[in-house]
Chains A and B, each alone.
Chain A
Amino acid sequence: MSEHEVLIRLERVSKVFDDGTVAVKELDLDIEEGAFVCLLGPSGCGKTTTLRMIAGLEHPTTGEIYLRGERITHWPPQRRKAGMVFQSYALFEHMTVHDNLAFGLKARRVPRRQVRERVRSMARQLELDDVLRVRASRVDLSTMQRVAVGRTLLAEPDVLLLDEPLNNFQAGLREQMRVQLKSWQYQFGRTMVYVTHDQEEAMTLGDRIVVMRDGQVEQIGEPAEVYRYPTTLFVAGFIGLPPMNFLPARFDASAGRLTMAGAGVEVDASSLRLDRALEEMVVGVRPGHLSPAEEEGADGRPRIRGRVELVRPTAAKTILDVKAEGGQTVRALVPSPFSTAPGDPITLAFEPRHLVVFDPSTKRRIS
């Protein structure tokens, strides 16, 4: 079976709840075998509903869902081979860890001896041997997560669905669990669909990111691609921290130059590879692409001149809010330590090839 075979296909799937809320609108999505797909978006964007429709816990109002080409749109969850790890882990609290792990096998009438062996082997892989006899409600959070993952994996699902499973963890542990999750994917080789609102999590975990908003897909792509070439203003602003700077610009067709009055800078339009030339455009530049430079330089890079408004040092980088001469505030991410104080003059240079240009009316990328 080829690596890029489509495992799950959502075709123009919409979900309207009884109260009239449109959770998902005309969603098209292919999930390839073995992929780690992250559904990313702000809360209420329909990512969890999408996951639940793949699981069979919700049924689409319109549209179809296919598993290996077979239509499963209205199959009940028991018939699908989809495993799900819930945000709350949804452990069976009145049972021991062992019984939690064995539940699915027993429900599927696997012979007793085999149940014991498979539970034991899974417990070994997830380091749960010591807590098998402990009640599921008594173990700590990270153990709960391992139980939830183990319980789901034992059912040998075609796809593992994870609904913000790291939300309950504090920052340090979260990082550890991310590493853990990623390694499990290699270890168990399952297709995973992962829902999160945390862009950093999506960037580190996903092979592919599906950015959603208001029930619709904004962009699907590899993390680097989504970061570098956001297709819409929303994606550009949602991915990346601190968020991208958006500079309103006017295009002078005769001179072939793009003027960003707010930032007090202009660039040669020929370096931007524009699809279309509009009179009004929005230019996006990542804070990390703005670097401190001498006031005048021979390198020919466009420069934004202004005064430092706010300095926020973090361990590796320092975030600068700079009030440009044109009046707009831009944000730059410079290496730490960076010695400056509010009020200091500063010059920031950038490479025109790093700019992303959007059409302000359609909010889509045109460069």
Chain B
Amino acid sequence: MSRGRYRTGRPWLRLLVATVVVLVVLGPVVWLASLSFKPPEEWLAGRPTIIPRDPTATNYLVLFAPGLPGGAIGEALRAAQPVNRALINSLLVAPISTLLSVAIGFLGAYGVSRFRVGGNFLPFSVLATRMFPPIAFAVPLLVYYRTLGLIDTRLGLILMYTASTLAFSLWLLKGFIDGVPRHIEEAALLDGASHWRVLFTITLPLVRGGLAATALFVFIMNWTEFLFALIFTSRTAVTVPVQLSQYVGTVGRFYGPQAALGMVASLPVLVAGYAIQRFLVRAFTFGLVK
């Protein structure tokens, strides 16, 4: 397809549209970045500036060592928990549960797509777990978790996230696996390959773009999940989103540290997204495989 075909209109009009789009999309990000370097006086300044008048790294410092900086922020957040633990928790919980969710989802999707495992009932019932507001599960699960000793543990969160994103993994991957021509797998079977060999040497490589897209999607969900983390953790297993909420507490609103943590929290997603970018392109061109 020729790209030029869609280039219509005058150059200045295109520039205008592009500018508006960039402002709308990147505006909040720029705002967040700017805020994260501002001292308390500028957080709520009547005439905010994009470049901080008096840039400071205190907001970042206070995240990792709450008692270290002096001044109003250091004083107020002296008792706050350092962000290190939340970061480590999130960096363990989100990737591990993503991996589990995608792995289980892939095998499940393969069974559903190729062998019609569970007929129509199984894929639908997996999806049905997402048809209730998550909060509806909170109280019963709290009871389960207490009995099992999973409250405020990483394992508890990993199980929770794996289960709650499985529906997405399964359904997204089912779509990608459905798109792999059956004949290709049959040809491999006739060539003497076992089902497992076909799965790992034929199907898996052919849907790896879809796997990457699904993994990124699930990772973002897990990385940003707030409700369950808030309910099921208290101290040991808190994650970044929960930590983030602590900066808007009873002692005041700490927009600066919050923005700083927001910036830090977006890094892993950016890195993950960038790392799998080339697979994503494959996912979107997957329709060309016939």
Question: Chain A: residues with CB nearer than 8 A to chain B?
Answer: 55-57, 76-78, 82-84, 86-88, 90-94, 103-104, 107-108, 137, 148, 151-152, 155
Contacts and interface: CB of A to CB of B under 8 A. Distances in A.
Interface in B179-213: 181, 183-184, 186-194, 197, 201-202, 205-206
A317 to B, nearest CB: 38
Contacts of A87: 183
B187 A86 contact: yes
A108 B181 contact: no
Given A57-B186, A94-B206, A88 B192 contact: no
A152 to B, nearest CB: 8
Given A78-B190, A84-B190, A151-B191, 9 more contacts: A77-B186, A78-B193, A84-B186, A87-B183, A90-B183, A93-B184, A93-B206, A107-B192, A137-B289
Contacts of B205: 94
Contacts of A94: 205-206
A92 B202 contact: yes
A142 to B, nearest CB: 17
Select the residue from B181, B189, B191, B205 with max chain A CB neighbours within 10 A. B191
B5 interface: no
B77 to A, nearest CB: 52
Given A91-B184, A93-B206, A57 B189 contact: yes
Nearest to A109: B192
9 contacts: A57-B186, A77-B186, A90-B186, A92-B184, A92-B188, A94-B205, A94-B206, A104-B191, A152-B190
Contact of A83 (B190, B194, B197, B201): B190
Nearest to A148: B187
B249 to A, nearest CB: 52
A90 B290 CA distance: 8
B192 A55 contact: no
A108 B183 CA distance: 20
A78 B189 CA distance: 6
Nearest to B184: A90
Nearest to B116: A18
- Interface bin, chain B: 10 to 19
Contacts of A90: 181, 183-184, 186-187
B181 A77 contact: no
A82 B190 contact: yes
Select the residue from B181, B189, B206 with max chain A CB neighbours within 10 A. B189
B192 A155 contact: yes
A84 to B, nearest CB: 5
Given A93-B206, A94-B205, A94-B206, A86 B186 contact: yes
A82 B183 CA distance: 15
Contacts of A104: 191-193
Contact of A107 (B186, B193, B290): B193
Contact of B181 (A56, A78, A88): A88
Contacts of A92: 184, 187-188, 202
A108 B201 CA distance: 14
Contact of B192 (A78, A84, A86): A78
A152 B187 CA distance: 9
Select the residue from A87, A90, A151, A155 with max chain B CB neighbours within 10 A. A90
A57 B189 CA distance: 9
Contacts of A88: 181, 183, 290
Nearest to A154: B191
Nearest to B180: A93
Nearest to B183: A90
Interface string B197-237: 10001100110000000000000000000000000000000
Nearest to B204: A94
Contacts of A83: 190-191
Contacts of A93: 184, 206, 289
A88 B197 CA distance: 22
A86 B206 contact: no
A149 to B, nearest CB: 12
Contacts of A152: 190-191
The 10 tightest CB contacts between A and B, nearest first, are A104-B191, A90-B183, A107-B193, A90-B187, A86-B183, A107-B192, A108-B192, A77-B189, A94-B205, A90-B184
A65 to B, nearest CB: 15
A179 B191 CA distance: 26
B71 to A, nearest CB: 58
A347 B193 CA distance: 64
A83 B191 CA distance: 7
A218 B192 CA distance: 34
B281 to A, nearest CB: 14
A56 B191 CA distance: 12
A161 to B, nearest CB: 9
A148 B184 CA distance: 11
Contact of B193 (A91, A103, A137, A148): A103
A77 B202 contact: no
A91 B183 CA distance: 9
A316 to B, nearest CB: 37
Nearest to B193: A107
Contacts of B206: 93-94
B183 A107 contact: no
A84 B205 CA distance: 22
A107 to B, nearest CB: 4
A57 B197 CA distance: 17
Contacts of B187: 84, 86, 90-92, 148, 151
